[in-house]
């Protein structure tokens, strides 16, 4: 149980275009999902916390107008990288939890974004 | 916010030996400390976790210890095997469930 599905697994786009990444909790409801970014050989850095039905909370230094997060339902959160630039190329990973006591976070498979 | 530091950044051990990775955290309110294993290009996989009301937890060859007073926790892998080679991340979180990750340890098990 507790499967998190993330799509696409990889995407290549041109500078200036936008890319949408989906994160779904397949067998549980997640009121909160988290979006992380990981550059090569570095750790996972929290970008934002996605809350169902309300605005996302962004970490310091993350541009909310560039990384649009929508958490429209209890099983789906989307991250849209707008006007992508080569420096946005990274591994983006979402995570979610059922939120019950002692339930761990479960990660999606990640999305490798390459901006040319 | 929480700050998690992890050491060492790289660790090489001979197959069959033990490996120890250490982390410290700053936020005394943190109460959940999971460890993740990440293979190249893949998502982090939870391997073991510990909560602040427990001092030690073991699962076969993997164990984690927690010292709340000193705010540090460690991962111990015994009888290492080549398939244990990966990057390991410690992390910590409080009630908000936001995980703060350590910088990672590249573990290489030499055959």
The confidence band for A105, taking pLDDT boundaries of 50, 70 and 90, is confident
A93 CA: distance to closest CA in chain B (Å): 7
Nearest 5°: phi and psi at A82?
A: -95, 150
> Which residue on chain A is closest to B1 by alpha carbon?
A59
Instruction: Name which of A107, A110, A111, A113 to mutate to probe chain B: the one with the most chain B Cβ atoms within 10 A of its Cβ.
Output: A107
- Tell me the C-alpha distance between B33 and A35, whole Å: 19
Q: How high is the pLDDT of residue A54?
A: 85
Q: Is B16 exposed, middle or buried (0-12, 13-18, 19+ CB in 10 A)?
A: exposed
Average pLDDT of chain A is: 91
Q: How high is the pLDDT of residue B109?
A: 97
- In chain B, which stretches have pLDDT less than 70? 95-97
The confidence band for A102, taking pLDDT boundaries of 50, 70 and 90, is low
For residue A45, what are the CA distances in angstroms to A26, A94, B102, B107?
A: 24, 11, 10, 20
A107/B contact by beta carbon, under 8 A: yes
B55 CA: distance to closest CA in chain A (Å): 16
Instruction: Name which of B44, B105, B106 to mutate to probe chain A: the one with the most chain A Cβ atoms within 10 A of its Cβ.
Output: B44
Please judge whether B44 and A97 are an interchain contact, meaning their C-beta atoms are less than 8 angstroms apart: no
Please judge whether A93 and B100 are an interchain contact, meaning their C-beta atoms are less than 8 angstroms apart: no
Which tokens hold the place of B80?
């290492």
A22-54, pLDDT tens digit by residue? 999 998 888 889 999 999 989 999 999 988 888
A71-89, pLDDT tens digit by residue? 888 899 999 999 999 999 9
A13/B contact by beta carbon, under 8 A: no
Are the CB atoms for B58 and B65 separated by under 8 Å? no
Which tokens hold the place of B81?
């095997």
Q: For B16-104, where are the E strands, in sequence order?
A: 19-25, 32-38, 45-51, 56-59, 62-67, 72-77, 86-92, 100-101
Select from B43, B98, B103 the Cβ nearest to the Cβ of A108: B43
């Amino acid at each position: 149980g507790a499967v998190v599905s993330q799509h696409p697994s990889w995407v290549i786009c041109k500078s200036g275009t936008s890319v949408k990444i989906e994160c779904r909790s397949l067998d549980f409801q997640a009121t909160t999902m988290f979006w992380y970014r990981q550059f090569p050989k570095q750790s996972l850095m929290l970008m934002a916390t996605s809350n169902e039905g309300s605005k996302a909370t962004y970490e310091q230094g993350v541009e909310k107008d560039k990384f649009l997060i929508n958490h429209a339902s209890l099983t789906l959160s989307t991250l849209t990288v707008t006007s992508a630039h080569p420096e946005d190329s990274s591994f983006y990973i979402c995570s979610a939890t059922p939120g019950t006591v002692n339930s761990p976070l479960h990660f999606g498979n990640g999305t490798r974004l390459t901006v040319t | 916010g929480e700050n998690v530091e992890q050491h060492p950044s790289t660790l090489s051990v001979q197959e069959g030996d033990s490996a120890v990775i250490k982390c410290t955290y700053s936020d005394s309110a943190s109460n959940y400390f999971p460890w993740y294993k990440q293979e190249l290009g893949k998502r982090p996989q939870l391997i073991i976790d510990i909560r602040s009301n427990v001092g030690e937890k073991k699962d076969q060859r993997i164990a984690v210890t927690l010292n709340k007073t000193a705010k540090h926790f460690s991962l111990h892998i015994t009888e290492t095997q080549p398939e244990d080679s990966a990057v390991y991340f410690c992390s910590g979180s409080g009630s908000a469930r936001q995980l703060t990750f350590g910088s990672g340890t590249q573990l290489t098990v030499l055959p």
